Amino acid sequence: MTATPAIQIDDLRKSFGRVQALDGLDLTVQPGEVAGFLGPNGAGKSTAIRVLLGLLRADSGTARLFGGDAWRDAVELHRRLAYVPGDVSLWPNLTGGEAIDFLGRLRGTVDKKRKADLLERFELDPTKKARTYSKGNRQKVALVAAFSMDVDLLILDEPTSGLDPLMEAVFTEYVRETAATGTSVLLSSHILHEVEKVCDTVTIIRNGTSVESGTLDELRHLTRSNVTAVVSDDPSAVGGLAGVHNFATAPADGGTRVTFDVDNAQVGSAMSRLTALGLHSLTAAPPSLEELFMRHYGDVLPGAESAADGADDTASAAPTAPGTAGAR
């Protein structure tokens, strides 16, 4: 792509005293892209976002928005973006409606119609003083303010903490709607299915450095599929195939139930062997991001995988949530 990326971070470093919050982070968000920014609490997501917003000064490396310097050109760049922090703090003596108007006016004019629609969809009472709002309601104020703005980039830092599932759905819908108009989105989260639902690409951050990034499909290549099948013949030979892990069998109605994980590169050969054994039923679940997490927050980094095979097996033996797997 030749267009200037909406966000470009290269080898970004930032430390607070002896704590290295960002340690060579790379992150790129192309125009119109919805990018997930995944990592556990304390991984450095919020620090990276604060550097992007010019609130923190990087020690080294570059952080650019629309090609401009995030620190030096902060005010100009901010005209083109909206930001929702993870823990929204509002002025206690302003009502929610006043806060939304005020935030909108600092960028431009407030679209009354859009504000009213958003208030209705998010079921927010704008006449209450912010001091009486719950965490979820404060979050809604910031979301309404952000979505009612006409911007080129939305930066959302764990924006759904405090929202109930219904409101999360409304949020997801608005992110999709906004993205459809060509707005780029950076969505930081530690909730996997939130990212899976809306994001085109994902960058995974751990200890201040990006450990993986790519489209969801690309990332799944790095993982294994989880296979459960019932076959009539003895399946033990499958367990010896290259790329098959965690092989287990159990008696089942009409044969033997077999479960295993298989590297995606080896799925074909495993399937043909299973078919030859007289296949009764088969489920193959794509790996969820949960598994990606298990790998990256377990002490296994890509590249060290074969060396640490034993540890890897224990990691992926952890139960996965079938509901979240393959949501796309």
Partner 1 sequence: MTAVAQAPAVPRPSSGSTLTGTGRLVRFMLRRDRVRLTVWTLSVVAFYAYFAVALDAMGPEALAGRALVMETPAGIVMGGPGYGIENYTVGVAIANEGITWVVLALGIMSVLHVVRHARAEEESSRSELVRAAPVGRHAPAVAAIVTLFVVNAVIAVASAFALYGASGEAMPLVDSFGLTVGSGLAAMVFGAVAVVACQITEHGRGATGIGLAAYGLALVLRSAGDIQERHGSLLSWLSPIGWAQQMRSFVDLRWWPAALSIVAILLLLVLGAVLASRRDFGGGLVATRGGRADASARLRSPLALVWRQQRSAFGWTALGMALMWYASGTLLPEILQMGVSGAADNEMFQAVFGGTDPAVFRDGFLSAMMLFAALACAAYAIVMSGRAKAEEAAGRAEVLLALAVSRSRWFGAHLVVVGLSTVVLMAVSVYAMWVGAVQVGMDEPGLAAYTDVFWTYSVALLVYLGLAAALYAWVPRFASAAWLLLVYSFVVGMFGAVFNLPEGAEAISPLDWLPAGFGEAPEAANMVGLGAVVAVLLALALLGFRRRDLQSN
β-strand 60-65 against 19-29: which pairing, if any? unpaired
C-beta closer to partner 1: residue 109 or 306 = 109
Report the distance separating Cα 14 and Cα 1, nearest Å: 29
Residue 325 three-state SS = coil
Three-class DSSP category at 328: coil
Q: Minimum distance from CB of 71 to partner 1 (Å)?
A: 10
Tell me phi and psi for residue 171, to 5 degrees.
-60, -50
Q: How far is the CB of 159 from partner 1 (least distance, A)?
A: 13
Residues making contact with partner 1 (CB under 8 A): 50, 53-57, 74-76, 78-79, 81, 83, 85, 87-91, 93-95, 97-103, 105-107, 112, 125-129, 132, 142, 155
Least distance to partner 1 from the beta carbon of 114, Å? 13
Give the whole-angstrom CA distance, residue 103 versus residue 290.
36
CA distances to 85, 92, 204 from 139, in Å: 8, 14, 24
Give the nearer residue to partner 1 in terms of CB position, either 115 or 257. Answer: 115
Closer to partner 1 by Cβ: residue 100 or 294: 100
CB of 258 to partner 1, least distance (A): 51
> Which of 298, 293, 292 has its CA nearest to residue 311?
298
Cα dihedral 319, 41, 192, 315, rounded to 10, equals -30
* Burial (0-12, 13-18, 19+ Cβ within 10 Å), 103: buried
Q: How far is the CB of 146 from partner 1 (least distance, A)?
A: 10
- By C-beta, is 44 or 235 nearer to partner 1? 44
> CB of 123: closest distance to partner 1 in angstroms?
14
Contact 124, 132 (CB under 8 A): no
Question: With respect to partner 1, which residue has the nearer C-beta, 42 or 298?
Answer: 42
Q: In this complex, which beta carbon is closest to partner 1, that of residue 39 or of residue 54? A: 54
